[in-house]
Chains A and B, each alone.
Chain A
Amino acid sequence: MTSLVNARGVSKHFGAVRAVDDVSFEIEQGRILGLIGPNGAGKTTLLKAVLGLTDCDGDLSVLGLDPFRQRKELLKDICFIADVAVLPRWIKVTQLLDFVESVHPNFSRRRAEVFLSQTTVRSTAKVRELSKGMVTQLHLSIIMAIDAKLLVLDEPTLGLDIIFRKEFYGNLLNDYFDENRTILITTHQVEEIENLLTDIMFINDGRILLDEPMDSLADSYVELVTSGENAIKAKGLGPIAEQEIFGKEVLLFEGVSRENLEDLGELRTPSVADLFVAKVKRARR
């Protein structure tokens, strides 16, 4: 596997605030990594460092390049949609295509036009005349028409209704993703994307709390639904989170084998959202 992003001891400080604090990770080609964190966790700062939009301390290499110092070179093979990177409202759809075609060596106008023809976005419209959902469709059509190695999505579906959100991820998976492409995505709506992720990373207060392939989550984490005596026994095994639902205890374990738990109640794999909440609460304790 080729490592596309390689971070070793990456930090970014804003005065006394450590937005990203000594973070190390790798992203391999052909993966879809979900970067999940609460507001102010350092997600966007980390993404900006990866995109070369902000400088940082430590060693960070993206596609073998120093993202901040070789940003122009890097942006030929990397694209991003950020909730804050809005398309200019004054521009016409055709002008946008003209512009990207002129400056981006890996952009296929034909592909973008095919994607756009599947939407209700008119090519003569100005961005200001489009709904938020249509603007996202337009942006996604442009991004999907760029033959990039790494796609970074920062809260790409924020403010969109469920239909647009489903369509967005559907297009991304069916029309864009293949083994040569890699996607790094952050979102608050983690339940909606957990099925499409191959890897997951949790970040809180600038530090990584979890960095694992989705496949191995079921091996590392298990949720036990139990009650009474069994619950007391299970708590002795050191769950990382506990909650009570409908009179039953739901205990989340890390690194405890299923054999040790299966006699104590019903076992299930925790959802990413539950795991995330448990990890963040534990980190804040």
Chain B
Amino acid sequence: MISNQIALIKREFWEHRSIYVTPLAIATIVTLSVLAMLVFASGFAKELDVAIFGASNLAGEGERKAALTAFFVGTSWLFLVALAVLTVFYCLDSLYAERKNKSILFWRSMPITDAETVLSKLITAAVVIPAVAVLGIVATHIVNLISTSIWVSMKGGDAGLLIWDSVPFIDNWSAAFIVVMATGVWMSPFIAWFLFVSAWTKRAPLLMAFMPLIVVPLLEWIFLRTRFFASAVLDRGDAMPLFRTLDFESFFEEEHWRAGIDSISLLGHLDVVRFMTSPSMWGGIIVCALFVTAAIYVRRYRDES
């Protein structure tokens, strides 16, 4: 069972190279943007000297930590956006392409159950893609800290003090890990819905997946004047019960945490217990299980020829 899962997930990497190409592309964009910024800043020699002096002598460790955390959050946010787009396209393709290119019967000629196959797609979307994104975030962070350190040193600053002693690595990386992995779990009902559409639709999976998300709340509002569906489904992205003091959208906005600059901590904003005990999270997992079961059922019982 586990060895089959490993083989199936490896297969997903072969087929969907975007799983690792996308984080690589984002990492490259971020790194190049940072380099461009550093080159741009180099043009202001006087201001730069003042800034480095200020950061070294006037700013406290808290402020340096805050600035570096802001940099980390800003770059990580890009990964989250790319991850969301990647996951939608991956899920919609994962059980549709094998039917379109007729390789489904080859895959089904191997001693693997349909449940194992669908489960491998779910694990890839909800766990593996987020995990790869976390690796991308951490790698990008390290690369950019190195390039910035070299630049700071070239400008006469103390990179050890300004950067390496001031980056809250454990806090930043653990928080990124928790947020990204929890997002996979929180959005799992959507992942499973997309998988189901991918297994079920005969054409246009993207349209079939998003149409109900637009039409159902519209119909509900027109006929019932209520918005239960919209608040339960469309507002789910904003309602993640992981953030202690912030809502999900403003989590990455600097002003919200600048107030408590001396005790800056991303982890401090996260409430894992609240997330794990949230009825909405568990409700989502149940919805996810229902759609995954439906996807397995469709793959197993529908005659494709």
Contact = CB atoms under 8 A, between A and B. Distances in A.
B109 A75 contact: yes
B101 interface: yes
Given A85-B102, A88-B101, A102-B6, A72 B14 contact: no
A95 B10 CA distance: 9
B14 A104 contact: no
Q: Size range of the interface on A?
A: 20 to 34
B44 interface: no
Contacts of A79: 109
B110 A100 contact: yes
A232 interface: no
A91 interface: yes
Contact residues of A: prevailing secondary structure: mixed
Interface stretch (A24-32, A47-55, A172-180, A241-249): A47-55
Contacts, number: 78
A98 B3 CA distance: 12
Contacts of B98: 88
B40 interface: no
Contacts of B105: 53, 82, 84-86
A82 B8 CA distance: 22
A89 interface: yes
A91 B15 contact: yes
A99 B11 contact: yes
Interface in B52-83: none
Interface in B265-305: 301, 303, 305
Interface of A: 14, 44, 48, 51, 53-55, 71-76, 79-80, 82, 84-92, 95, 98-100, 102-105, 139
11 contacts: A54-B303, A74-B111, A75-B110, A84-B105, A85-B106, A86-B105, A87-B106, A92-B14, A98-B10, A102-B4, A103-B110
10 nearest A-B pairs in the assembled complex, by CB-CB distance: A85-B105, A102-B7, A88-B103, A75-B111, A85-B106, A76-B111, A86-B102, A72-B113, A72-B111, A103-B7
